[in-house]
Structure 1
Amino acid sequence: MSPSIPQPHIITQYRNQIWHSLDNNLISTALFTAERLQAYDPKGVDSVHLLALCYFRDGQIKTAESLTRGWPKHVGCAYIYAQCCLELGGGRQKDGVAALEKCKGQWNGTSSWNKHTDTERRVLPDAASIWCLLGKLYHTDGRQKQSIEAFVQAVKLNPFIWEAFEGLLDTGIKLRVNNIFKQSPEMLAAVVQTNPTSIQEDASASVPSLHLPLKAASENIHQDPFSISTASTIAIKPEPGLFTKLNESISNGLGGGGLDADTPIATRDSHDNMMGIERQVKPPGAPLRKTRAATVDMGSRRGLTSRNAKDINNEVPKRTTSQMTAEAPATRRSTRLLNTKLTSKFVTGGSIADRSGVNAKEREAKKAKAISSRTKTVHIATVAAAEKLGKVRPLPQEAENIDVTMLDAKPLPPPVKQINEKQQEAQLHMLEMFKKLGTGYFALARYSCQEALQVFNSLTPSQRDTPWVLSKIGRAYYEMANYTEAEKIFQKIRQIDPTRTRDMEVYSTLLWHLRKDVELSYLAHELVEVDRLSPAAWCAIGNSFSLQKDHEQALKCFKRATQLDPKLAYAFTLQGHEHVSSEEYDKALVAYRSAVSADSRHYNAWYGLGKVYEKTGKYELSERHFKTAAQINPTNSVLVCCIGMVLEKTKNYKGALAQYDLACKLAPRSALSRFKKARTLMALGNNLAALQELQILKDLAPDEANVHYTLGRLYKTLKDRTNAIKHFTTALHLDPKANQLIKGAMETLEDADMEEDSEVYRLLEHS
């Protein structure tokens, strides 16, 4: 063979070294060796796949994409190419999808979820992994329907692919978590194994004696691959070379009970007991004269069709003298086994007859003629031995032609499927853990924060006190506006993992809401030290500048975060907030729209768009965007209240009241929702209901000047001058800046039809 032809064993050596380097994260070594393999085997598509994989792991995405573009029919190359398209973006997702679709016939239906161990691997991706990648490609390309279908296929094949589950949550569809994290047919097949010997150990309980109904025997025997599904006259032909073992066992005094070499040797009595035979104290009579029984070759292990004895006898090959000599002891052993229980009892036509009473003339007729069609012989001893001991090779013996009808006996149980308990336990443990985490994460994705907290807190302490779970708990408290508890959780995360940067943009915004400037600056400093290229670090720096009212520097930091991660919608939203603070509404709209493009379910961006349109007087557009945000996060009372505020400004007081009422139900302790509801009730003339809401609000926010001013106005309308003066005075003490306006309201207490002083409300709301 020409030395220029690549040799398989040399290629194998290269591949082994490459995988060793990849497994040990020696990327440079792996890449160097893969280039050598590609040079040695330039036409090998597997060599191209390995080289592209090394480039991808090394971060050379464009090189890997260029290398695999010309190999769309190889599953490994197509998979890497699609991953490169996902990373590069820019409309290349369609190319990645097309590459995977071209080789679908090779990967569709494949599964290797349980074939990866510490010592084994599957080089090429299976169907579940590819469906998950397709889901990501469709999602980033904006094809939500195809994305959902792909993610569903992935979790059906392998529910342990968490990325596919997260992908489903990102699409916002409703799903049943319990139907995802359950054992698939492949999982069940992996833990179930057929183990006939476990049942056969108790065969004596199922076959207490030889009183087996022939029909029942024929129905149960066929379930054993080494038995015959017929009730015809049957004798089993021994396998070649077995007679030597029989002769050796006979010479050792075993009575012709030849068994396989791996079978424990037993005495005749113990052997009979294992086969469920009750021996008689009285020695058996002389054996019957035997006719030549038909033999059937069992070597093929296939079911046989019923044939009468005459047809079978015609097929029996002639035996040599040596074979007949070798079979003689086995035949005598068979007679003894068969007749131990039936020595003096044969059931013939329902009556019991002694064996010695068999008519000699009838025996001669049996010898001369074939067995009648009604005569049915089953080699019971052999079948019992096979069922009990589970041996492939039956006893080599000829069946005696006995005219019997076997009586009631319990049918033999078929071989059972036994479950690998350890593997079953491992699967169920992981599925239960994934189910709990999936249930909590699903509740959080739907902003059912209280339910999510209950699920996460039900975990064991070791599982709950992990950064991933704690970050979700902190996020739940943050969404509930319980900033104090959220801060405690994020502080715990910082203690457990000081190097964690993921989700820290939420923590920095939380500190911004709490107005903790020092803690926010310290967090930003820590994150930059850990990873100065982390988007979360730049978000923290931006929030720190924003808290100091330095909007220009804050904007620069937020823009840097979006440069590092164009998919971080939250950074775009923070940009929009800064533009709104600077009253740059056009730029704010651009930033919010960029956030929606990065994540269509980022409700904060939809809220920002609604707020901009509200400030610019476009109430219809504002209402539409607020409703979109509320559809994504239906449990947020602020969003519902914003819808009511827009409706109130368009004089739709009834619609606004419905929104405020819903907001109060979602957050009973929300001062803003209850205050807006009270004012709307006053506008509708329902003063008594408004008074009830304001009294509740006074207990919730006793130091709010606006609440006391509104109470003063309401009591003035109800002509309760005493309470009106009381609350006006309280409002004056709480907000001295509105001194002149509040005094003016007090001086006009006698005017029953005094209209709302909008300037007072404007001043109080911004105080």
Structure 2
Amino acid sequence: MSHNSTLAATQLKQLIYYHLDNESPDNANFLAERLNSIDPRNPDSSHLLALTNYRLRRFKTAYDCCQKPGANGRHLGCAYVLALVCQELGKHNEGIAALEKARSLWQGRSHWGKHTESSTRHIPDAAAVNTLLGKLWRGHGDSRRAGDCYIEAHKSNPFTWEVFQGLCDMGAEIDVSSSFRMTTELASSISSASASISNQETVKDELIPIAPVPNASNMNSVHALTPTNDPFNPVKNGADLVAQAQSNFLLPRIKSKGIFGNNISKPTSQSSWDTPTANGTSGDEDVEMGELQQEAASAEEVPAAPTRRSRTALQRLGLDAGKDSQKARAATIRGQTKPSSESVDTDDATNAAQNRRLQHKRTISGHSAQIPDAETITSAPRRSNRLFSQITGSKTISRAPADSNSLTAAKRDEAKKAKATGTKGRGPAQVGRVVSGNRKVMPPSTTEVKDTRAPSRTSTAPPVPLQKQALEATLAVEMASTESLLATFRSLGAAYYLLSRYQISSAVDAFKALPLAHRESPWVLAQLGKAYYEASEYSSAEVCFAKILKIQPTRTEDMEVYSTVLWQLKKPVQLAFLAHNLRDLAFNSPQTWCAVGNAFSLSREHEQAIACFKRATQVDSGFSYAWTLMGHELLTNEEFDAALASFRKGVGSERRGFGAWYGLGKCYERMGKWEEAQRHYRIAFGINPSNPVLAVCIGVIMEKLGHPKAALTQYSHALSLAPNSALARFKKARVLMGLKHYADALVELEVLKNLAPEEANVFFLLGKCFKGLGRRADSVRTFTTALNLDAKASQYIKEAMEALDDSDEDDMDDD
């Protein structure tokens, strides 16, 4: 691929990510096709093309795009998109194989703290891949491996709620108190994320030079490092401006530490001085002076590096350093590539730029600094000369005789003293003293005064212990915040786990114990409404779902349960209103068609209801609730084979859907297959042991099989689960009468009479009980009450009244 094609591919990738992040999959898909046309052999191109097609729900097209590079497991992005597509297309084994082959690419990877408003990752980490693997194994039917993947994902990222919910839905035994805890993987991810953020801030501080606050003492020496005013690269003409701009953008990013003195090589025996910069840093010095040796190395490594003055500080001061000065001069000549005429231009440009900067400087008090005339600026010495003169003045070391430049240096010192009127009353600046061949800072003499200059970059930076303490404090705050979030998730997880185990009363209490902000959220209200529905408290469930629609009128999730609640409460108007609203909101959602089917079922239009439920299964073939409702409608029409097929589809979609198992048991019961009915009832009861209806159904089958005592045990258990269950109490009373336990049966019937005062069967059975106890008058009275309540059953009631004298006759109606 040519150079232009490579640049075009890079730009296209950036544009694709831009459109993906801004939810423009159509634009991203168009650009991905262009990228794939330019670079068809690159798996990155296939990944982006498949990803954009997946976002557009073109699953088969996405499968074709990423099948080859993703099936071999060499590209994680392609393998992940292939697994997502295989989940949608039902090819679970192929998706699992692709992710397993790419295990070396995602295992141990963590993106904690890397998804922010300004950064994102389009390649998944271990938690995301394990979550997808769990879904694929679950779709394949292997709950054990799905659980293992979910557990690994939960260890990597406990905030993946879908993982915990999947474990609960599969019926896994979970210790909620140990869940949502700070794991080793999470703690290491948080620590590494905090460290990386801290490093980024540190690098940012290093890459962006900060000029010290200007004052009267450093007004002439401060340099603002801007692209148009660089102390290391003064501007001479328009041609050099482009080179300078390029160096200003490249050097701070690539060679920042070398430029600003952070990676200075070991010093030589001579001491070469130059202007101290505000960004010069060193581990042992307060002010770092740039060396000519380092300058020459930087000039060789970076072609765009700025040039320095050709004369050394010793020459400017008029001192003869002997061999050291000759070595320094030689190093300067070797390190520079410009002719001597250019150095003169450089000096002039530097003085002019310094004059322009002084026009914009302000003192600490906020007033504009005094601007000296051009002659004073020209004759003013550089700051390094002043510092060196101060240091040499405080030392008693003998120097060689001054050369011809000493007169110039003296004139500059005099001009500096005449100019610096703003520093009256201030002492000379103090800098660290450097001994040739040794970088250790010597202690200042007692005659020296404290430095009044603006602090250098090193002096303004906090010490290493303070930085470490700040990092530890930030990490502690983030850990505490994470622990707080985990505690909230733990409370939500405990409540949902209780609901998934059908411990209804405990689940209701757990949801009510949540903070008000969470308790009034739509999701919590939906779970609370489903809990009331499972407990057959339909009025309370209706209140919860009605509150959800007030908070979130456009919600469609869990509305199929609300429609069933209204069906149980026999409220056709409210049910029809709900169905119309859902149809306008989401015409192609399975929840909508379930609500419409329930509305038709309540109006006894069973064929229309079956058609609606079938439509729901066509929209989402894995929607178990629609298969279950359609099976019940088919069972009402006595289409047993079709009902069995529908219930089996429901069981296949959701193994723990006890409603489908109950429907299978009911079908076999209606068909007279008692053993099969008992087996399916017991499976459903094993899933939901708190449902009294299932216990009653098992008791009925036990009666059919001729085991009245076992049936009595089931009825008693059902009453312990639901003391107000009229059906369980009626069945229990009838079994007690069959066992000739009339006194116990009478106790149950007296309670039942208060629960169902208008039920003719209750009074009919009570008359039978009085007959067994020999209370003929009470028997006639209760039979008469039953006759008044249900005139259609007058034939059976009259026959029972005529048979009062037959003590051995026990013609109890099975209904």
How far apart are 1:242 and its partner, in Å?
Answer: 12
Q: Contact 2:63 / 2:82 at 8 angstroms: preserved in 1? A: yes
**Aligned mate of 1:37, from 35, 44, 48:** 35
Q: Quick one: distance in 2 between partners of 1:708 and 1:447?
A: 35
SS of equivalent to 1:609: helix
User: Residue 674 of structure 1 aligns with which residue?
Assistant: 729
One-letter amino acid of the structure 1 residue matched with residue 151 of structure 2 = V
User: Residue 706 of structure 2 aligns with which residue?
Assistant: 651
Q: 1:327 to 1:65 in 2, by over 3 A?
A: closer
**Aligned mate of 1:546, from 601, 621, 626:** 601
Figure out how many residues of one structure are paired with residues of the other and give that number: 573
Q: 1:414 to 1:38 in 2, by over 3 A?
A: closer
Q: Quick one: distance in 1 between partners of 2:604 and 2:470?
A: 78
SS of equivalent to 1:420: helix
CA distances 1:519-567 after superposition (whole Å, capped 9, x unpaired): 1111111111111111111111111111121111111111111000000
The TM-score with structure 1 as length reference comes to 0.70
User: Residue 131 of structure 2 aligns with which residue?
Assistant: 132
Matches for 1:492-571 after TM superposition, within 5 Å: 492-571=547-626
How far apart are 1:322 and its partner, in Å?
Answer: 6.5
Structure 1 spans left out of the alignment, 5+ residues: 195-238, 249-257, 264-320, 334-387, 393-412, 763-767
Q: Quick one: distance in 2 between partners of 1:328 and 1:709?
A: 110
1:51 aligns with 2:76: no
User: Residue 28 of structure 1 aligns with which residue?
Assistant: 26
Q: 1:328 to 1:679 in 2, by over 3 A?
A: closer
How far apart are 1:482 and its partner, in Å?
Answer: 0.7
Q: Quick one: distance in 1 between partners of 2:679 and 2:94?
A: 35
Matches for 1:98-117 after TM superposition, within 5 Å: 98-117=97-116
CA distances 1:464-510 after superposition (whole Å, capped 9, x unpaired): 22221111111111111111111111111122222211111111111
1:477 aligns with 2:476: no
Q: Quick one: distance in 2 between partners of 1:329 and 1:681?
A: 105
Q: 1:649 to 1:120 in 2, by over 3 A?
A: same
CA distances 1:351-400 after superposition (whole Å, capped 9, x unpaired): xxxxxxxxxxxxxxxxxxxxxxxxxxxxxxxxxxxxx97689xxxxxxxx
User: Residue 68 of structure 2 aligns with which residue?
Assistant: 70
Q: Quick one: distance in 2 between partners of 1:103 and 1:739?
A: 76
CA distances 1:289-326 after superposition (whole Å, capped 9, x unpaired): xxxxxxxxxxxxxxxxxxxxxxxxxxxxxxxx966999
Q: Contact 1:732 / 1:742 at 8 angstroms: preserved in 2? A: yes
User: Residue 12 of structure 1 aligns with which residue?
Assistant: 10
User: Residue 172 of structure 1 aligns with which residue?
Assistant: 171
Q: Quick one: distance in 1 between partners of 2:134 and 2:724?
A: 41
How far apart are 1:624 and its partner, in Å?
Answer: 0.1
Matches for 1:184-203 after TM superposition, within 5 Å: 184-190=183-189
SS of equivalent to 2:486: helix
Q: 1:328 to 1:565 in 2, by over 3 A?
A: closer
Structure 2 spans left out of the alignment, 5+ residues: 196-264, 275-282, 289-433, 447-461
Q: Contact 2:601 / 2:609 at 8 angstroms: preserved in 1? A: yes
Matches for 1:179-578 after TM superposition, within 5 Å: 179-190=178-189, 260-261=285-286, 418=473, 420-578=475-633
Q: Contact 1:505 / 1:539 at 8 angstroms: preserved in 2? A: yes
User: Residue 85 of structure 1 aligns with which residue?
Assistant: 86
How far apart are 1:651 and its partner, in Å?
Answer: 1.1
Q: 1:724 to 1:12 in 2, by over 3 A?
A: same
Q: Quick one: distance in 2 between partners of 1:415 and 1:552?
A: 71
Q: Quick one: distance in 1 between partners of 2:134 and 2:803?
A: 67
How far apart are 1:419 and its partner, in Å?
Answer: 5.7
1:737 aligns with 2:792: yes
How far apart are 1:705 and its partner, in Å?
Answer: 1.7
Matches for 1:144-155 after TM superposition, within 5 Å: 144-155=143-154
How far apart are 1:65 and its partner, in Å?
Answer: 0.6
Q: Quick one: distance in 2 between partners of 1:49 and 1:470?
A: 40
Q: Quick one: distance in 1 between partners of 2:669 and 2:756?
A: 27
RMSD: 3.1
User: Residue 749 of structure 2 aligns with which residue?
Assistant: 694
User: Residue 61 of structure 1 aligns with which residue?
Assistant: 59
CA distances 1:581-622 after superposition (whole Å, capped 9, x unpaired): 111111111111111111111111111111111111110000
One-letter amino acid of the structure 1 residue matched with residue 24 of structure 2 = L
Q: 1:328 to 1:459 in 2, by over 3 A?
A: closer
SS of equivalent to 2:570: coil
Q: Contact 2:716 / 2:732 at 8 angstroms: preserved in 1? A: yes
Q: Contact 1:524 / 1:541 at 8 angstroms: preserved in 2? A: yes
Q: Contact 2:112 / 2:190 at 8 angstroms: preserved in 1? A: no
Q: Contact 2:522 / 2:552 at 8 angstroms: preserved in 1? A: yes
The TM-score with structure 2 as length reference comes to 0.66
SS of equivalent to 1:119: coil
Q: Quick one: distance in 2 between partners of 1:389 and 1:709?
A: 93
How far apart are 1:21 and its partner, in Å?
Answer: 0.7
Q: Quick one: distance in 2 between partners of 1:578 and 1:618?
A: 20
One-letter amino acid of the structure 1 residue matched with residue 695 of structure 2 = V
How far apart are 1:6 and its partner, in Å?
Answer: 3.7
**Aligned mate of 1:602, from 648, 651, 657:** 657
SS of equivalent to 1:129: helix
Q: Quick one: distance in 2 between partners of 1:699 and 1:706?
A: 13
Could you say which structure has the greater relative contact order, defined with CA pairs below 8 angstroms and 6 or more residues apart? 1
Q: Contact 1:191 / 1:419 at 8 angstroms: preserved in 2? A: no
CA distances 1:672-717 after superposition (whole Å, capped 9, x unpaired): 1111111112222222222222222222222222122111111111
1:756 aligns with 2:811: yes
One-letter amino acid of the structure 1 residue matched with residue 703 of structure 2 = E
Q: Contact 2:662 / 2:681 at 8 angstroms: preserved in 1? A: yes
User: Residue 141 of structure 2 aligns with which residue?
Assistant: 142
SS of equivalent to 1:583: coil
Q: Quick one: distance in 2 between partners of 1:682 and 1:522?
A: 47
Q: Contact 2:284 / 2:441 at 8 angstroms: preserved in 1? A: no
